[in-house]
């Protein structure tokens, strides 16, 4: 089978999920030596490390995306935090990721919202804060741009299962994107197959709702049906993991839904629409075998598409 997907998309891997420990330079060298992946998503590192990573990616012909999620989650920062000092810290964290993005010639920096408020009465006020935070970050990206402007993309997470994020449900994600785009242009939404089974509505309906705003996609797996299982929640096990939600048939349907939603025809800041895989080793898995398994799963699914 020819690699016909390359006409539609660039396929990527989230480095910091696939390789949770170890030397990022050597790990990204390993990824770069394999011509399957066109994009690698990294978290910000110290400048000397990023310089080495950029050199590797330049030699390998790989593009780079920046994930601000680890900095926000690891430091428990929220872009919709009602405490103004806490929200400023979250904004500064993502601005740092924007700076890293320009260093690495990245076109997209992805982030996430803070938690869903406990009271529904507080959702509207926290949406206002989330909109304001995103606008501030997008304006910062524009003000610090040189020959291109980085886009901020907010990733949907689950709203009730694990991370319990404000963004979230498709209606709130669409509302956020519409309101932010009324003020700035460099903004979009990231949807993630790892999170979609934990959100209300079918995958097709969610993608249809978000279609005008999608600029970046993640694909992965989760365990959402049985709370007694060890990997229940937002943990990104390999495709087909026992008790999990997604294997080849579900990935086939997801790819078909993406095609029907028009994602691959969207106007995006990257050379082509990006589909990045986000998987993590567990229970004796190795990162290298997880990558091989992910590639096989995608090829099997694409053959059916």
What are the pLDDT digits (tens) for 247-268?
Answer: 999 999 999 999 999 999 999 9
Residue-range definition of the domain harbouring residue 105: 4-304
- For residue 186, CA distances in Å to 101, 154, 178, 213, 284 come to 14, 12, 12, 11, 41
0.85 surpassed by pTM: yes
Q: How many domains does the chain have?
A: 1
- Give the CATH number, domain containing residue 83: 3.20.20.150
Q: Radius of gyration over alpha carbons of the chain, in Å?
A: 18
What are the pLDDT digits (tens) for 29-62?
Answer: 999 999 999 999 999 999 999 999 999 999 999 9
Other CB atoms closer than 10 Å to residue 46's CB: what's the count? 7
Tokens of 197: 């089974």
> Measured between alpha carbons, how far is 162 from 222 in angstroms, rounded to an integer?
11
H/E stretch holding 237: none
């Amino acid at each position: 089978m020819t690699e016909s997907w390359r006409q539609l998309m660039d396929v990527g891997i989230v480095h910091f999920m696939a390789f949770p420990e170890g030397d990022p330079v050597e790990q990204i060298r390993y990824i770069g030596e394999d011509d399957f992946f066109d994009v690698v998503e990294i978290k910000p590192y110290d400048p000397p490390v990023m310089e080495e990573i950029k050199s590797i990616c330049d030699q390998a012909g790989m593009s780079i995306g920046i994930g601000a999620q680890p900095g926000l989650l690891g430091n428990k920062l929220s872009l919709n935090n009602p405490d103004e000092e806490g929200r400023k810290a979250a904004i500064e964290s993502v601005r740092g990721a924007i700076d890293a993005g320009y260093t690495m010639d990245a076109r997209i920096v992805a982030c996430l919202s803070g938690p869903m408020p406990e009271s529904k009465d507080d959702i509207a006020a926290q949406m206002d804060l989330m909109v304001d935070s995103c606008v501030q970050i997008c304006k910062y990206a524009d003000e610090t741009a040189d020959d291109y402007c980085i886009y901020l993309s907010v990733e949907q997470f689950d709203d009730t299962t694990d991370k319990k994020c404000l963004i979230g449900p498709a209606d709130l994600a669409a509302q956020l994107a519409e309101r932010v785009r009324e003020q700035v242009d460099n903004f979009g939404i990231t949807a993630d197959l790892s999170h979609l089974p934990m959100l209300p509505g079918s995958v097709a309906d969610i993608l249809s709702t978000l279609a005008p705003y999608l600029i970046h996609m993640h694909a992965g797996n989760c365990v959402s049906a049985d709370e007694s299982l060890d990997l229940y929640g937002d943990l990104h096990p390999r495709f087909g993991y026992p008790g999990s939600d997604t294997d080849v048939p579900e990935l086939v349907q997801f790819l078909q839904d993406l095609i029907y939603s028009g994602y691959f025809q969207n106007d995006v800041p990257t050379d082509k629409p990006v589909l990045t895989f986000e998987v993590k080793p567990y229970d004796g898995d190795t990162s290298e075998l997880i990558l091989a398994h992910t590639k096989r799963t995608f090829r099997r699914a694409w053959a059916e598409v």
